[in-house]
Amino acid sequence: MAIYQFKMMLIPEVSLRAQFGAIPMFIEEDMAENFPWWNGVSSPLNLKEKVGCILPRIASWSEAMEIWGNEHSNAILIGYDDANKIEFISTRIDARCISFPFLTDICKLGAELKCVFMTMEFKLIESDEIAVIAAINNSAAVKFVKDPLSTLRNLKND
């Protein structure tokens, strides 16, 4: 993933409600990265066709993942476990030139799948264009696009 891409994971609301009783604003990093959010959730009907109506499918570098769009721009990725069940669905939005039709389509997809989006900072946001735009505008991806040098200097050393 490139620094100019804003990544969001689709998290099923049913999994959040089962785990927390409600949809929290944030999730702790360890849980966010390791909890099987799609475990026990039925695969959405016609998911691949729905995603294919948003972006064209491209070759994946992994047998356990399908990719639509462009890995260096806007993309939707679906990862599968060993039983070929959904392990994750993620989106990448190119902050260099935000495609509002793509943004609208992924918000519609999120709402249709009854999911919320989880950002890289583990914040949960509704499948709503205004909420997603606000999150993008406050992201490192947009900061990088506006001022690459300062953004790189301010990144945490991991």
Average per-residue pLDDT for the chain: 92
Question: What would the mean pLDDT of 122-143 be, rounded to a whole number?
Answer: 93
Q: What is the pTM of this model?
A: 0.90
CB distance 128 to 113 below 8 Å: no
Using the Cα atoms of residue 105, residue 48, residue 141 and residue 128 in order, give the sign of their dihedral.
positive
Alpha-carbon gap, residue 97 to 24, rounded angstroms: 30
CB distance 90 to 77 below 8 Å: yes
Question: What would the mean pLDDT of 23-27 be, rounded to a whole number?
Answer: 95
Q: What is the SS3 assignment for 129?
A: helix
With residue 87 as reference, give the H or E element that holds it. strand 86-94
User: What residues pair up with 94 in beta bridges, in sequence order?
Assistant: 5
**Number of separate domains in the chain:** 1
Domain membership of residue 103 as a residue range:
5-154
Q: Quick one: tokens of 157?
A: 């050393």
User: What residues pair up with 117 in beta bridges, in sequence order?
Assistant: 10, 125
CB distance 9 to 127 below 8 Å: no
DSSP code of residue 64: T
Length of the chain measured in residues: 158
| pLDDT-based confidence at residue 3 (cuts at 50, 70, 90) | confident
Question: What would the mean pLDDT of 35-51 be, rounded to a whole number?
Answer: 91
* pLDDT single digits (tens) 81-112: 988 899 999 999 999 999 999 999 999 999 99
Question: What would the mean pLDDT of 143-157 be, rounded to a whole number?
Answer: 75
pLDDT of residue 149: 80
DSSP code of residue 108: H
| pLDDT-based confidence at residue 156 (cuts at 50, 70, 90) | low
CB distance 85 to 105 below 8 Å: no
